[in-house]
Amino acid sequence: MLILLDRDGVLNEQRSDYVKSPDELRLILGAAEAVADLCRAGYRIAVVTNQSCIGRGIIDTDMLSSIHQRLCDEVARAGGRLDEIFHCPDPPWAATERRKPGPGMLREALARFGATAAQTPMIGDSRGDLEAAAALSCPRILVRTGSGAATQAAGIPSHILPVAVYRDLAAAARALIAEDS
């Protein structure tokens, strides 16, 4: 089974000025271990992340690759793996269907892994993550890290419901693993 994860605010701490180098990447406590637990339980993990810092000219794709290598290395140190990272470089003012809340990246991940949307949870911290998942009928999980607490406090529109809410990725992973046991 496949699980889709947002990056900023789910795996790593969100920065208002973007993660611009590997040194600025700070994993959320327990996130790498949560990915490792999911991997040991037989899940494949795909990250689907908006990275408008590229479209804004703040970093280039080579730097993003270095940041993602650091992310993969941190997850591997905990015993896990990220099977694929999909990113969308579009800035908000030039968004394509790939940029969340558009479902394009999620659709690509499902196709790449031969997964069924209804059986592929999306774990995110923003309304955009949830809307992208709802557009394809993926189960929606909101974590309260990153923007998640504010997203929940703002109210989740009825067209996105149902949404399961957990404190962080570790709690969401434990629930998914227990549900499948």
d(CA 123, CA 2): 11
pLDDT (tens digit per residue) in 147-172 = 999 999 999 999 999 999 999 999 99
Which residue segments constitute the domains of the chain, with CATH numbers given? Answer: 2-180 (3.40.50.1000)
Q: Rounded to the nearest 10 degrees, how much is the dihedral formed by the CA atoms of 22, 60, 51, 19?
A: 30
Looking at residue 171, its amino acid is: A
Residue 181, pLDDT > 90, answer no
Q: Which of 8, 37, 125, 168 is catalytic?
A: 8
Query: What does the H/E/C string look like for 45-65?
Result: EEEEEECHHHHCCCCCHHHHH
On the question of pLDDT at 140 being above 90, the answer is yes
Q: Is the dihedral of CA 172, 174, 177, 181 positive or negative?
A: negative
Active-site residue 8, yes or no? Answer: yes
User: Does 6 qualify as catalytic in the annotation?
Assistant: yes
How far is 60 from 21, CA to CA, in rounded Å?
10
Among 6, 90, 129, 168, the one annotated catalytic = 6
> DSSP assignment, residue 8?
B
What is the band of 180 on the pLDDT scale with cuts at 50, 70, 90? confident
